[in-house]
Amino acid sequence: MPLPEADNSAEPEQPTSQRIRQDARRYVDALAARLTELEELAEAATRFAVFDAAEYAAFKRLFLRFSTLCEEFQVFSRITEDVLSNFQFAMAQDQVEREFLDDAFRRLQVPMLHAVIRTNLGLLRVWEDRVQRGEGLPIGSHELLAETARIIQHTRGELLRPRYAELVDEAALEDAAQADRILKGLIAQAPRLFDFASDGLSSQALSAIAKRLAVAQAAGGSVITKPVTGDTSKTDR
């Protein structure tokens, strides 16, 4: 789904603040539509057992599609957040609408972030199961693991932002904690889990992957806890 363009069809005399309000409404509505698509893919991902090559390939295709949509959602979210920050209100009802749209925006973000964690957790469980059964990971998994590490650490950080504190439920925190645990275990075993040479990777590529894994591991050192609620308007929007 393409990002909606700003509405430039308004008459020249239309105040800039009114155009910003209209764009804010449209962006929030479009995010809601995209969230529905993301949640459908996340639900589809939970139906995979992934114990054979064909099913793993199908899961990987779904996972990559989900990841692409998430990146688009995140870019779109930043645009929406910028539009909301420029929302001008001259009257009381304008401020009420601004607060309503900002609340709607935050309520869209938390399910999206949880869907990202849940879907990546599904992939991590597949890998963990293979390791526990004494099997190696599929060829090409090392790059996917590095990307998964980056996604999980970024998403967990977003999920624990103070502005989302009152909206995050225990299920999301538990999934984030489990993903963090499995990820750290896989990273710790990475040298023996992957036959890097079988993919014909250069030493430079191996070094880059190792650095990405190390950064992800360092970023995930703290224990996941319920974020602190309270007045955070001066520290985090």
- CA-closest candidate to residue 24, choices 115, 103, 112: 103
- CA-closest candidate to residue 146, choices 88, 195, 91, 190: 190
CA angle 97, 99, 105 (to 5 degrees): 100
pLDDT at 92: 59
pLDDT at 198: 42
d(CA 224, CA 226): 7
d(CA 183, CA 192): 15
Q: How many CA atoms lie within 13 A of 84 on its CB side?
A: 22
pTM of the model: 0.64
CA distances (Å), origin 32, targets 3, 41, 111, 152: 12, 15, 10, 22
pLDDT at 229: 43
CB burial string 150-183: b at 16+ within 10 A, e below: ebbbebbebbbbbbbbebbeeebbebbebbbebb
pLDDT at 192: 55
On whether the CB atoms of residues 162 and 227 are closer than 8 A, the answer is yes
Tokens of 221: 């050192």
- What is the residue-level pLDDT of the chain in tens, covering all 237 positions? 454 554 555 444 345 667 777 777 887 888 888 888 888 888 887 777 666 777 778 877 888 888 888 888 888 888 888 888 777 665 556 778 778 888 888 888 888 888 888 888 887 887 888 778 777 666 666 667 777 877 888 888 888 888 888 888 889 889 988 988 888 888 777 555 544 444 444 445 445 555 555 555 555 443 333 443 444 444 444
